[in-house]
Structures are given as structure tokens and as C-alpha cells.
A and B are shown apart, each in its own frame.
Chain A
Amino acid sequence: MGGEESLGSGAAGKLKIGWFSFSCCEDNTVIFTELMNDHWQEWKQLFDFRHARVLQSHNVLDELDIAFIEGAIASDDHAAKLKEIRERSRKLVAIGACAVVGMPAAQRNYFHEEQKQEIEFLIARFKALPRVLKVSDVVKVDAEVGGCPMDPKKFLEAVTSLVGEWKAASGNQKIVGK
């Protein structure tokens, strides 16, 4: 995609949001649902959740305004899915330590030989990657919110910034694409 694109093309002009979890403990999902306690009414007005398996059964991976990615990339299937999300998303935000730096999901990358030998048959059985990757190893990342779990204030700042960008752009109806 390139050139000029309008943002906020979801239902009733809402931002189309995806929330995706790869290899991790999903602590950021929990923090996200806790932030909803105070922000659900505002987010209901702003966001069209297109893909969020923790919230709903009907999930669509079409054009997204913002994709939030938690977790590290542990298999070829993960990598292919992440690339597909990247292709369909205007902004992609890595959320939490596993997505941003790979750890602790990538702790097996640092195992010594004996530990590696112990887990080898499981890596083979489930076709896992030889090394676990952080999100930016696989796709371009537009913003990062670190922490284990993510820092809720930083997450809200990132969301406010992205929404601000969208609102400014939607004033003109058009912005220069990602």
C-alpha cells in the first residue's frame, strides 16, 4: 500500500483495531482488559475491534488502522501470520517485552547445549523456529510499548498519539500513508 490513504475507515468512522498474541504469557492482554475498566465507553466510540480473539468469536483480518502485537515469533506460521497482519495494517505497534525484545519467550535462545538437547525433540515435533524472534526481526514496527507487562501509561500515550494522528488526518480526510 502507499500514497494517500484515509484513516479510520471502520464502522461509523471508527479506527479499525486488531489485537494479536503470539508466544507470550498474554499479560498485556490482561492489562488491556483492565484499562478497559476506565476507558471502555471511550474506546467503544473510537474503536472498531475487527480482530481480537480474547474479546469476540467473529474476527476479520481485513484492512486495519492499528495492529497491536504482543508476544514473540516462535514458528514459521507465526512469521507468516505477522507478515500478513503487517501488509494489512497502516500502523503496527509492538506491545510488551516479548514483542519488543523477545524475552522471556526467547529464553531458549540462550540455553546451554545440555538444555538445548533436552528440548530438541519438542522443537522438532511442533516445528518451532530454531531461534525465537522479536517482532522487529520479522516486520517493520511503527511504535513500541515495552515492559513486562506493558506499562499502561505508555500504552495510553501511544494510543492517544495514534488517535490524535488519526483525528488530525481525518480533518483533511487524507494523510500520507504509512
Chain B
Amino acid sequence: MHSVDLDISIDRLTKVEGSAALDVTVRGGKVEKAAFKITEYKRFFTQAMRGKPVIAVPQLLSRICGTCSNAHIIADIEACEHALGIGPTEQTRILRDLTMYGLNIRDHALHLYLFALPDIRGKDAFLDFDENDPVEHQMLHDGFAIKAAGNFLSELVAGRSVHAPHPTIGGFLHFPDEKGIGEAIAKLDAARPAVLRTIGVFKNAPFHFDRKTDFMALVPTDHYGFIEGCIMTGSGECITEDGYRDHLEHVVLPYSQASGYRYRGGSYMVGALARMNLAKNLLHAKTKESLGGTLDLFPSTDIFMSNLAQAIEILHCLDHALEILQTRTFAPEPVIQATPREAVGIGVVEAPRGTLYHKIHLGADGMVKDGEIIVPTGQNQINIEEDVAVLVNGLLPDTPKEKIHFEIEKLIRAYDPCMSCAAHFLKLRWS
């Protein structure tokens, strides 16, 4: 049993993207402070982009984060195009949608299978799963098959699943060929039963943590997607992409390499759960048909439902990608050229972990004067701290320290935080 004063410190969280820690201070039996610290060393991309030619900037800023790189590329291309005063063709829009679909399938599957599922199965690592156990055997094969299908789609459309070389300002540099499209259709189609099993696993998962908070996401007008739309908060208002920054209050967290954000003085959450809460009606028709009553679980304020939301997003991405690949062809198009001008461009996309904002201030000489990047994990940082405090208060005083540690990591994993992005963001210390 714990004394009423307790210091808990987790030096480095595992099964998350990048380096993060947490300090929890308990005084008089209550959590006095929970500090979620992103310990990735800053690499100063917002300084480094200054003076660079605009054409080079999306690839530079891709290096902020390996796992979310293709989302950074698409957000930055959008910001640069807005500054240059150009817009994408219909085919480019569709190829960008497919780029984001490949990213989300691969990235969500990595999180769900390698990071989240071991907690549910009571194992330390996905690779520890028992191939002789029929359930775990299926999970091993499902996880890698889904990841591989998303990876293949990314390679086909964007050239690579990490730091994709094909998307550029004004269009694409390479286009999917018929053979590749046929292979992608076969792989995605073959992975669909595995995705349905994934949804079943996370729908029936035994973990729950419910705390009322606000949600925010970029919500499109026509189909569930990650690039177009306005930013909804669930309160009825819809903020335009260029008005987004004006609504966020920057909060300096001196113990963290990342910045926190508040919206109207309060914490909020971005990511798959926010998107599902705000836009489930826009999911692909085939996805909705397969899900049946599962969608009635949303809206939800249970953070572990974010895992289910990710699994559903995999199915949507797969179904819409299949429809696109089966119904249209892609012809080479020239990249749209533009004459530089002094202007500010904003790009907002839904990265796998939530709303990602890029701002580019372009000079008339074609060089970037300044810029700003706001990443999902930075926005979730304060919400995570508030959740951890409520979680630990609920576990005190009788829960063993090791169990508290495990429960905290499990909760934070459900946020699927990305520290590489945020430190452009964590250590757990009990104090």
C-alpha cells in the first residue's frame, strides 16, 4: 500500500513513437501534478526551413517524423500551394487521398497490433504471441498482412511509406501503373477479413477510461477523409483552415520539449476518436454496411474507443481505396507551376494522430521567410496529463505501484502519441 505522499517516475514510455516520460506527484493521497514530458531533443525544423526554396520544404519537413511523414508532406504541400495561389487537379486530390489512406492503414495497424494488442493479450510484445495458439496465430498473420497492404498502397501511389518521393507542390511526379493497381487491389481485398477481425477485437477489448473532454477534427463535406474540410469542435461551429491557429492558445510546458495547446481555455483531444465522434456519418457505404450497430458506440468519451476508431478507419481507408482503384485510371499530368509571390499559406490535414497544421510565409523570391507547425501530440499533451491525474486518483491508495505504472502506460498508448512530431515531445517520473 502506498503512503499518502508518492513520487512516480516513468523514465521512458515503451511501445509508443519516440521518447517520452511522465512525472506524477502525489501529496496527501491526491495527485498534485502529472507532467507528461516529451524528451526527444528538438531538431529545430521551424528555424531550419527559413531561407530554403519553397520546393524543398515539404521534403525537409517530412523529416520531422518518420511515422507521420507522409501527413507532413501533404499538409506542407497544401500550405505551399495556398501561398503560391495554386490548387490541385481532381486526379491529384484523389492521389493525395490514397496517400493518406495508405498511411492510415499502415500506421493504425502498427499502433493497434504492435503497441496496443499486447496489453489486451497480457503479453509484453506482439512477437511474443504464440503461433500455436489459434487466436494469437491469426492475430500475428492479420497484423502483418494489414500493415503490408497499407505499405504497398503507399509505395504504389506515393513512392514510399516514409518520406514519400512522388507527391510534390503542384501534383505528383509518378503515377500508379496498371500492374501495381491490380496488385494493390488483390492485397487490400485479401486484408479485408483481417480488418473486420481487428474491429471485433477492439470492440470487445476490456479496457475503459471515461472522462468528459472536448474533441476537434477536420471534417470534410463529402466523404470521410483526412485533407479537406473545416475544423469542427462538436459545438456546432466549423472553423476554416486559416482561422484554426487563432482559436488555439499556446501553452509553454517548461519540462517538455514540446508545446501544449488549449482551446478556449480548456484541454481538448484530436485523433481517430475525435474524427469518429464528429464524422462517422461520412464513412464509406460498404464500411457502414459491414459495421452495423458498432457505429452506435460513437460518439464516445472513452479514450480506449480510440483504438476501435482506428480499426474502423482502416476499414474505411481500405474500402474507399478499393473503390477508387477499381473504378478509375490514372494518366500522367504535368506538375502545376507557379510564380512565387509574398504570401502566407496554411495547410491543415488529419494526420493519423489528429489535426496537423502547417503555416508557410513565402517571400517573392521563392524562399521561405518563416513558418509554424502544430502537431497532434502537442495538442493532446494537456488532455493526457489531466487523464493521468484522474486515473491515478482512482487507483490510489491500494493499487501496487507497478500496476499503476502499467495502467498509465496503457492509457497513454491509447492516445497513440508521437514524440518525434511533438519535439520538433515524454519521461514518466513519480514525485
Contact = CB atoms under 8 A, between A and B. Distances in A.
B230 interface: no
Interface residues of B, number: 45
Contacts, number: 123
B60 interface: yes
A128 B41 CA distance: 8
Given A74-B41, A126-B257, A56 B67 contact: no
A43 B126 CA distance: 13
Interface string B80-101: 0000000000000000000000
A10 interface: no
Nearest to B423: A23
Contacts of B160: 149
Contacts of A104: 43, 48, 60, 63
Given A55-B125, A108-B43, A128-B41, A30 B19 contact: no
Interface residues of A, number: 43
Contacts of B41: 23, 74-75, 78, 105, 126, 128
Nearest to A56: B125
A25 B124 contact: no
Contacts of B64: 25
A168 B261 CA distance: 56
B14 A25 contact: no
B155 to A, nearest CB: 10
Given A57-B409, A122-B42, A40 B69 contact: no
B17 interface: yes
Interface of A: 21, 23-31, 33-34, 36-38, 40, 43-44, 49, 53-59, 74-75, 78, 104-105, 107-108, 111, 115, 118-119, 122, 125-126, 128, 148-149
Given A29-B67, A37-B147, A56-B118, 10 more contacts: A26-B66, A34-B161, A40-B127, A43-B127, A56-B128, A104-B63, A107-B45, A108-B44, A118-B47, A149-B162
Q: Which 3 pairs show the lowest CB-CB distances between chains A and B?
A: A27-B66, A56-B125, A37-B148
